[in-house]
Copies of this chain bind each other. A is one copy, B any other.
Amino acid sequence: MQKIRVGIVGYGNLGKGVELGILQNKDMELVGVFTRRSPDEISLITENTKAYHINEAKDMTDIIDVMILCGGSKSDLPIQGPEFARLFNTVDGFDTHVKIPEYYDEINQHALQSKKTCIISSGWDPGLFSLNRLYGEVVLPEGRNYTFWGKGVSQGHSDAIRRVEGVLDAKQYTIPKDEALSKVRSGQMPELTTRQKHLRECYVVAKEGADLSQIENDIKTMPDYFRDYDTIVHFISKEELDRDHNKISHGGLVIQSGRTGLNNENNHIIEYSLKLDSNPDFTANVLLAYARAAYRLNKEGSYGAKTVLDIAPAYLSMKSNEELRRSLL
């Protein structure tokens, strides 16, 4: 069997996760990693594979079936997404929710022209969580959908704390509130405010001599990031932070609560939950499943931009449709 030949653009945590993930998927092989850094600086885990400068990718269109774009949504993907869609089938995890429609349109236009298949906004949110929001609302239309994130580290909020005067380093955990979860699970379909849904817990290393109560106040009153939440601030040492808070674990829940029956007397709860030791590893594995779909859809002549919502689940599996029906349905 000819393996699916995969390229990786960007070698941060996500790119490294994709590299490891390829080893778990027996129908795939890594062709190369593409980077804006000097390729010599990068040593890969996979044998007989190497890093290339990103500019070399355009000469390798005939030996790469799918390119996985592992850059950030803020500044990398808006440039790289369209660029690579002109040359390769691609998969990315573009996650700036509000800009997805415009990103989709741009990728779609390029991919249709180049006859490529480009799956955008894959991963777990957007991605698996989007799927569960959809499956939930179509099955229980008289209902309500809730998404909770965490417990997990929010990079954006951690960065915001680091910009507070007197702060040396910090990690921020987003945590769903138990009381909100219980209410949702009870089938009451509550209206929940931002404050009621999530808690923000911060582990902060202060600079020597800094005013701790000032730092705590600056964090808790920060607009957009913390003001609308219950926020807990712990001051710890740099050693503690590095020892106890070095994981990139994450997770969350999508819950659909709905009713049926002549008088809406029957409650139904669909709950989808993720508990992830490594956010980038897991995200990488989702991107790879969708890389398989991109490869196959392209072979079938299904071109353009796609999202997880457009892709029949069977395309994600190595197994034949017959085998899926026999063993898994």
Contacts and interface: CB of A to CB of B under 8 A. Distances in A.
A241 to B, nearest CB: 20
Contact of A261 (B20, B267, B271): B20
A74 to B, nearest CB: 18
Contact of A139 (B121, B141, B282): B282
Contacts of A25: 141
Interface stretch (A31-39, A173-181, A320-328): A320-328
A1 interface: no
A229 interface: no
Given A286-B139, A312-B311, A268 B260 contact: no
Interface in A116-134: 121, 126, 128, 130-131, 133-134
Given A309-B321, A325-B100, A325-B101, A139 B268 contact: no
A281 B142 CA distance: 12
A15 interface: no
A140 interface: yes
Contacts of A101: 322, 325-326
Interface string A90-134: 000000010011001000000000000000010000101011011
A289 B138 contact: yes
Contacts of A135: 128, 131, 313, 316
A234 interface: no
A316 to B, nearest CB: 4
A271 B252 CA distance: 11
A138 B316 contact: yes
Given A272-B272, A275-B269, A322-B101, A329 B281 contact: no
A224 interface: no
A151 to B, nearest CB: 13
B268 A275 contact: yes
A295 to B, nearest CB: 13
Given A139-B285, A139-B286, A329-B97, A131 B309 contact: no
A268 B45 CA distance: 22
Given A100-B326, A268-B275, A275-B268, A317 B134 contact: yes
Given A17-B260, A281-B266, A134 B309 contact: no
A148 to B, nearest CB: 14
Nearest to A185: B275
A262 to B, nearest CB: 6
A267 to B, nearest CB: 5
25 contacts: A20-B262, A21-B260, A97-B329, A100-B325, A121-B329, A126-B329, A128-B139, A134-B316, A138-B318, A139-B282, A260-B281, A260-B282, A260-B284, A266-B277, A268-B275, A268-B278, A270-B272, A270-B273, A271-B271, A272-B272, A307-B325, A308-B313, A309-B324, A310-B313, A311-B313
Interface of A: 17, 20-21, 24-25, 45, 97, 100-101, 104, 121, 126, 128, 130-131, 133-135, 137-142, 260-262, 265-278, 281-282, 284-286, 289, 292, 307-314, 316-318, 321-322, 324-326, 328-329
